[in-house]
Structure 1
Amino acid sequence: MYDFIEREIIYLWYYLDILCRQIVPFYIIGTLIGSAISVFAKDRIHALLVKSKLKKFGFLGYIFAALLGFASPICMYGTIPLVVAFYQKGVRQDFLACFMVASVLLNPQLIAYSAALGPLVFSLRLVTCFLMALSAGILIRIFFKHSDFFVFTSFGIGHNHDTDPNLFMRYIKNVGRNIKATLPYFAAGILLAALFTIHVPQDAFAELFGKNNGFGVLLSATLGVPLYLCGGGTIPILITWLASGMSIGAAVAFMLSGPATKLTNITALKSILRVKHFIYYLAFVMLFSAIAGLLTDTILHLFSLKG
């Protein structure tokens, strides 16, 4: 019994050390960048959405709205009051949908964290999230051009914590809040990833979520709904899953469905959506995630055959 416990501790320490060396630098960089944008650039980013007159740019307006959504560092509970204000100032709901979906899927911190996944998966995350945000805006434009998709009523204005008159202290306090909000999930993700590596047989996992396994992609898209708690916390888990044989397409599906159906995000979104439109949103997320994952695996498989 003592030997078993000692062996478990040694293995756990070994994998924790590897994961921390691999991921912690990205966590630190992402936290510092996210806080800097929140303190020094957040208001300018949001002002751009109002002042840009997106409808004049046609399709390019969706691209601009998505990029601003990715750059926005605030959570969905903070984003929705802003979106209400944008709507009242004349921003069209299709552009707002594009902005919100982009904001749900990625933010500056998560972009920095995701670099730890490696160039290919990182690039695919950016591209598929971008396409999902564009698709949301375009679909709202097509099907709800003459009717309201959102119900912008009775959602209180979010509290602004960045009020310290000293800019440096405002930044330090923001970094502290970010660490307080994300570090428990990040640490839990590293611990779970290490335990997964020790105890879950790689062959069985690869068979379930492996390459050219359409069922694995569909299952991954579904698992993103209950398992996705925090973007930073899922990075070490995804790294471990990919190393254990998860297909890149299954990872893409999880990275799309997870944040889009994260409990706090969908709770906030439900406050501005009727029941029928909320169901439309969930169906869109699951369908897009599954298709994106299947296409990713298919394309990568074709390229590997050509190689």
Structure 2
Amino acid sequence: MWKDIIFSFLSIALELTVLFFIISFAVSILQGLIPYEKIEKYLLNSNKIVGAFVAIVLAFITPFCSCSTIPVVVGMLQKKIRFGFVMIFLFASPVLDPTILTLMGALLGWKVAIIYTVITTIFSIVIGFTLEAFGFENAVKNVIISGGKEQSSKFNLKKAWDETLSLMKTVYPYLIIGAFIGSIIHGAIPTDFITTYFGGDQWWLIPVAAIIGIPLYIRLSTMIPIAQMMIVKGMALGPVMAIMISSTGASLPEVALLNSIFHKRLVVAFILSVFSMSTLSGTLFYFI
């Protein structure tokens, strides 16, 4: 058993390392060409459709985990960017990451990655504007954040290399942890166990998976190799996607940070929104 686990871990870790390094470097180069100041101006002066699209683009090109998104959200609120756009960014930023989505396509299939991207994008936009329509903008506390770094739009190969190495230090360990957990699932957990309890078409598996994922603090990079092994072992795609989205979109550390900038009713609305997003997304994957 341990021989299979070690072999599985080494093969997964090697594949992820090569993919992650190449993709991260390419994305870092492209990010050096992105005019962040112009993007923020679009958010300040755009209509609903254009602004929602720009918020999704900004979420896509800024690879943050759920916790590191919060300071950016505070900065956007201070700049008086429309509340709906800020909420779209808050929900989309942790779950949309070009590097991780590419890994998802390589490991889980491009159809899964594309459907995941479309579904999370649509739900982020719907939830963002719904919270705005219900007047949750009034549930934002007055918070001041300083010391934020401005993004540079100059092409710099050395800077792209340094950012890649920095990303390797911060995100890569979570990827390896995910590979290790995935290899244990592959080598130690019987396929019959997963197919019996998690591989069926019971509707309640999806909301249960979404609930389990919310208290966890798992990066999307950690969940990708775990999800791959769960699916290989026979776990249904719906619950896998539900726990992936809920664990990435919300976590206890993030909720604690949100509690410092939002009043309780908005924090509760955020948690319920993440649960709804992950449950409905998992259900759509089930039908697709």
Q: Structure 1 residues 31, 260: closer, same or farther in 2, change over 3 A?
A: same
Q: What is the rounded CA distance, in whole Å, between the counterparts of 1:206 and 1:15 in structure 2?
A: 20
Shift of 1:230: 2.1
1:65 CA displacement: 1.4
Q: Following TM superposition, by how much is the alpha carbon of 1:253 offset from its aligned partner in structure 2, in angstroms?
A: 0.9
Greater shift, 252-261 or 204-213, is seen at: 204-213
Q: Deviations over 1:121-164 (max 9, x none)?
A: 2122211210221122211231017x52422413344357x89x
What's the counterpart of residue 195 of structure 2?
206
Correspondence 1:266-285 to 2 at 5 A:
266-285=255-274
Query: What's the % identity of the aligned pairs?
Result: 21
Residues 210-257 of structure 1 deviation map (CA, whole Å, 9 limit, x = unaligned): 242222212221222244422212111110001111111112212221
Alignment partner of 1:102 out of 88, 92, 96: 92
> 2-side partners of 1:135 and 1:32: how far apart?
32
1:205/1:246 contact within 8 Å kept: yes
CA distance in 1, matches of 2:80, 2:231: 44
Corresponding residue of 1:93 = 83
Which deviates more, 87-96 or 274-283? 87-96
Alignment of 1:241 with 2:234, yes or no, is no
Q: Provide the residue aligned with 1:125 in structure 2.
A: 116
Aligned to 2:17: 24
Which consecutive unaligned segments of at least 5 residues does structure 2 have? none
Deviations 1:188-212, CA, capped at 9 Å, x for gaps: 2111111111111112212222242
* Contact kept in structure 1, 2:65 and 2:248, CA below 8 Å: no
**3-state secondary structure, aligned to 1:214:** coil
Structure 1 segments unaligned to the other structure (5+ residues): 1-7, 301-307
Q: Specify which of 26, 30, 33 is matched with residue 33 of structure 1.
A: 26
Alpha-carbon deviation of 1:97? 0.7
Residue type of the alignment partner of 1:131: I
> Which of 101, 120, 130 is residue 139 of structure 1 equivalent to?
130
Letter paired with 2:92: A
Match of 1:70 in 2: 60
**Residue type of the partner of 1:127?**
V
Q: How far off is 1:51 after superposition? A: 1.5
Q: 4+ residue stretches of structure 1 with deviation over 6 A? A: none
Distance 2:247 2:23 in 1: 19
Q: Letter of the aligned partner of 2:21 in structure 1?
A: I
Q: Which deviates the most, 10-19 or 123-132? A: 10-19
Secondary structure, in 3 states, of the residue corresponding to 1:59?
helix
SS of the equivalent of 2:171 reads: helix
1:188 has 2:177 as partner: yes
Contact 1:81 1:156 in 2 (8 A): no
Q: Between 281-290 and 26-35, report the one with greater CA deviation.
A: 26-35
Alpha-carbon distance change, 76 to 37 in structure 1, aligned in 2, over 3 angstroms: farther
* 1:11–1:198 CA contact under 8 A, matched in 2: yes
**TM-score after normalising by structure 2:** 0.87
Shift of 1:49: 3.4
Stretch deviating more after TM superposition (181-190 or 47-56): 47-56
Deviation for aligned residue 1:79: 4.0
Does the CA-based 8 Å contact 1:151-1:273 persist in structure 2? Answer: yes
Give SS of 1:153's match: coil
8 A contact 2:69–2:94 mirrored in 1: no
RMSD value over aligned CA atoms?
Answer: 2.7
Question: Structure 1's 25 and 166: CA in aligned 2 closer, same or farther, altered over 3 A?
Answer: closer
**3-state SS of paired residue (1:278):** helix
Q: How does 1:280-299 map to 2 (within 5 A)?
A: 280-297=269-286, 299=287
**Separation in structure 1 between the aligned mates of residue 65 and residue 188 of structure 2, nearest angstrom:** 34
- Relative to 1, partners in 2 of residues 1:76 and 1:196: Cα closer, same or farther, differing over 3 Å? closer
75 and 259 in structure 1: CA distance in 2 versus 1, 3 angstrom threshold: closer
One-letter amino acid of the structure 1 residue matched with residue 102 of structure 2? A
Could you tell me which amino acid in structure 1 is paired with residue 282 of structure 2?
A: G
The CA distance in 1 between the partners of 2:60 and 2:228, in whole Å, is 22
